[in-house]
């Protein structure tokens, strides 16, 4: 990823660059944690280090990089946000998700037509969000309140969607009928997160 990733981030992630504020109404020095989430990466130092340099953040910012995350990455970082904020009073966390799909691009296959689905559905991109507690509404503009974040494994979902590194790159495969998930399991998750009558 290296230099190519650094150049892409510099031109594509607009988080204030050389200015003293990341668009959150507070100085960048208020950021205590950086969580960088991406599909692929093998460089050392990692993408989190490069982003610290690009944004001129404090070198003492606590960093975490999560690799091999795909379409579920944003849900993953929101779940992490709840846990980090519970254990770090006053924390201000910058989450960045950066996706590169070039490694999954390959020619069509007569035996793996499902690989075309992922190439057709997904593309490159980046997103960022600041998560914290007790916002100062006189200077900050909170957009959402994170009430609950959970994770579960659906019964019978083994092999529904798989990803593997192969000589030609990353191969994504999906089983026939993988979208036919059990609604009852979704209902149970909603009940654990909110209440029994979650339609109200």
Q: Which two tokens stand for residue 46?
A: 């990692």
- 61 assigned to some structural domain: yes
- 182 assigned to some structural domain: no
- 94 assigned to some structural domain: yes
pLDDT digits (tens, 9 = 90+) for 85-121: 888 988 999 988 877 777 667 777 777 666 676 677 7
- 128 assigned to some structural domain: yes
Question: Once rounded to an integer, what is the mean pLDDT over residues 135-158?
Answer: 78
Residues 34/61, Cβ–Cβ less than 8 Å: yes
d(CA 110, CA 167): 17
pLDDT at 179: 60
Domain that holds residue 101: 2-146
pLDDT digits (tens, 9 = 90+) for 157-177: 777 777 777 776 666 666 665
d(CA 199, CA 177): 27
- 109 assigned to some structural domain: yes
Scan for tokens 């494994």, then name that residue. 153
The CATH number for 35's domain is 3.40.47.10
- 175 assigned to some structural domain: no
Please report, rounded to a whole number, the percentage of residues in the chain having pLDDT higher than 90.
Answer: 6
Q: Which two tokens stand for residue 11?
A: 């031109």
- 36 assigned to some structural domain: yes
- 8 assigned to some structural domain: yes
pLDDT at 177: 59
Residues 81/95, Cβ–Cβ less than 8 Å: yes
User: Domains in the chain: how many in total?
Assistant: 1
Give the residue numbers marked as catalytic.
Answer: 71
């Amino acid at each position: 990823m290296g230099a190519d990733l650094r150049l892409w981030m510099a031109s594509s992630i607009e988080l204030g660059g050389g200015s003293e504020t990341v668009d959150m109404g507070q100085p960048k020095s208020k950021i205590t944690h950086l969580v960088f989430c991406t599909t692929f990466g093998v460089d050392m130092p990692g993408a989190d280090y490069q982003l610290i340099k690009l944004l001129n953040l404090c070198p003492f910012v606590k960093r975490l990089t999560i690799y091999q995350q795909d379409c579920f990455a944003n849900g993953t970082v929101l779940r992490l946000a709840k846990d980090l904020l519970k254990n770090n009073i006053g924390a201000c966390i910058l989450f960045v998700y950066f996706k590169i799909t070039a490694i999954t691009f390959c020619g069509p296959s007569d035996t793996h037509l499902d690989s075309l689905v992922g190439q057709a559905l997904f593309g490159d991109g980046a997103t960022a969000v600041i998560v914290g507690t007790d916002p100062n509404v006189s200077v900050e503009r909170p957009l959402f309140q994170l009430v609950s974040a959970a994770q579960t494994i659906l019964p019978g979902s083994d092999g529904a969607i798989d990803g593997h590194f192969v000589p030609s790159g990353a191969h994504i495969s999906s089983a026939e009928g993988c979208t036919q998930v059990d609604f009852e399991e979704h209902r149970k998750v909603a009940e654990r997160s909110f209440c029994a009558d979650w339609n109200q």
